[in-house]
Amino acid sequence: MNKSIRLGVTSVNEFNCKRRTMLQVLYAQQEIKIPFTPNKFVYAGNFLHLILQRVFLRNFSNVEFFYHRKSKNIKDAILLSMEIELDSIKKIWMNNTGPWKYHRQEFSNSFDIITSQLHNLALMAESLVTINNNEITSLVIQDEFTVINRINHNFQIRGKIDLVAFSETGGLRIIEYKTGTPKLEDENQIKIYGEILYSSFPDQQINLELWYSKPKFDQIQKIDQKTIGGLLQEISNLYEKSQQLNNIKKLPEQDFTSKVCQFCKLCDFIDLLEFDT
């Protein structure tokens, strides 16, 4: 009996290397974990999630204070609130005396990344606030919203959407924010989320957005709904091919150093199964 496989969307969104996606499925089925060491970019993304969560869900009163009491515009009120949350997070993590103290340099580097992007992010986040009769309201509903899709009875993919917000024109906004440069995998990731949500809520207006806050690359990329579809089927096809390969030969548990890809070793088994690259 085949084992049930669960994979994150970010593990199967790189379709320019189909072998890599198949490798993720194979190792998940054989319960072999791929080594992963967090770096400053991963920490920056995690801390940024926490900052936005606090500003728009927990402590939106700070934005209201700067807007009403300090006569700041919305963007500046959001920026000042973000800076407060960033300082609070810095104090906690930079003064950590537990095992995390050995990561202080990475934390410091990640805070530098966030600091350089806060202005751009605050500018984008203006659209998450609505003003009515001089009263401001956060349009954010939830952060890190989990979506799940069962490809078949043995294979399930899941992901966490960074932010869900109401749209002023109706419907929902699905937002993924990125601290790096735009990549095709980012678009694939949010398109997979969209495909899952469209199938679950066919009558709901859903808008997909990628937010890039890195200087010189800052933009909000809106995804055309007409381009959504087909990725879940492609993942299903790759799953079926991976099962054929898995039945032919067991993959060895070995080091993942590769000169071609970050950790892809499936090319070693190319002669075992023919498939389009």
The two structure tokens encoding residue 152: 């078949």
Report pLDDT digits (tens) over 61-107: 999 999 999 999 999 999 999 999 999 999 998 888 777 777 889 99
Task: List beta partners, residue 143.
Answer: 163
Per-residue model confidence (pLDDT) at position 168: 82
Tell me which long-range contacts 112-115 makes (C-beta under 8 A, separation of at least 24).
113/40, 113/41, 113/44, 113/179, 114/44, 114/47, 114/48, 114/51, 114/86, 114/179, 115/86
Q: How far apart are CA 262 and CA 60, in angstroms?
A: 40
Comparing 201 with 267, the larger pLDDT belongs to 201
The two structure tokens encoding residue 268: 């070693």
Percent pLDDT > 70 in the chain is 86
Looking at the predicted structure, is the pLDDT value of residue 134 above 50?
yes
Radius of gyration of the chain (CA): 21
Looking at the predicted structure, is the pLDDT value of residue 2 above 80?
no
Q: Look up the pTM and report it.
A: 0.84
Looking at the predicted structure, is the pLDDT value of residue 257 above 50?
no
Is CATH 3.75.10.10 the right assignment for the domain spanning 139-232?
Answer: no
Pick from 99-113, 154-168, 173-187, 232-246: least confident: 232-246
Please give the helix or strand (H or E) that residue 143 lies within, else none: strand 140-152
Going 195 to 196 to 202 to 204, the CA torsion angle's sign is negative
The structural domains of the chain, with segments of one domain joined by +, span 40-138, 139-232
Comparing 99 with 265, the larger pLDDT belongs to 99
Percent pLDDT > 90 in the chain is 48
pLDDT, mean over the chain: 84
Comparing 127 with 103, the larger pLDDT belongs to 127
